Chain A
């Protein structure tokens, strides 16, 4: 079975631009979480979606938004990019996203903002 897939793998943008990152969860999983990992740090929680509804949001500005589609895939959108948004963006898949569930990570999208 395919694991979590993310696209694109790498992306270069300039300050002020907008970016859309995409994620497809493991087949049968209904929850998608997004994390940002800056170099040298652990992943930081951005959003979780379950059954197309936002379940939770981390401490990120409103420039970050996301949505989940009927097929459970998800998009993360970041507006007005800043240099500090350069990071590895990770999508994690789980069956229902509950706290005791294991989250499986995709390969990530590496974003560089110039």
Chain B
């Protein structure tokens, strides 16, 4: 079973701080990496995807990928209470299925 591991949290950060969410994966053939946000009782919503080593920035979000270390992270700058949600890391190899971690619960406190 190819694993995607995330710390379940909860990760608590004060409003305005940087939240750092981490994910490791076991399949070295993985090629595509996705971060989804899921509010309680709702479906996952895409935040970012990254395919190449390095950083990718989109607004307050930065995804970081290190294939050698099999590690992908998501940084959220200037965290807001509305960012409080579960963040799901998903990994895909050359196939079609997304392999998800269990998610990290983020709580941004005012």
Contacts and interface: CB of A to CB of B under 8 A. Distances in A.
A58 interface: yes
B46 interface: yes
Given A45-B97, A56-B95, A99-B93, A107 B32 contact: no
Interface string A92-105: 10000111101111
A72 B105 CA distance: 34
A106 B45 CA distance: 9
A6 to B, nearest CB: 9
Interface string A44-62: 1100101000011010000
Contact of A103 (B93, B95, B98, B103): B98
Contact of B99 (A45, A90, A104): A45
Interface residues of B, number: 26
A42 interface: yes
Interface string B80-103: 000000001010111111111111
Nearest to A46: B97
Contacts of B31: 99-100
Interface in A53-86: 55-56, 58
Chain A, interface size category, equals: 20 to 34
Contacts of A106: 43
A43 B96 contact: no
A99 B103 contact: no
Nearest to B95: A99
Interface in B37-66: 42-46, 49, 51
A36 to B, nearest CB: 11
B97 A100 contact: no
A33 B103 contact: no
A102 B34 contact: yes
A108 interface: yes
A43 B97 contact: no
B67 to A, nearest CB: 14
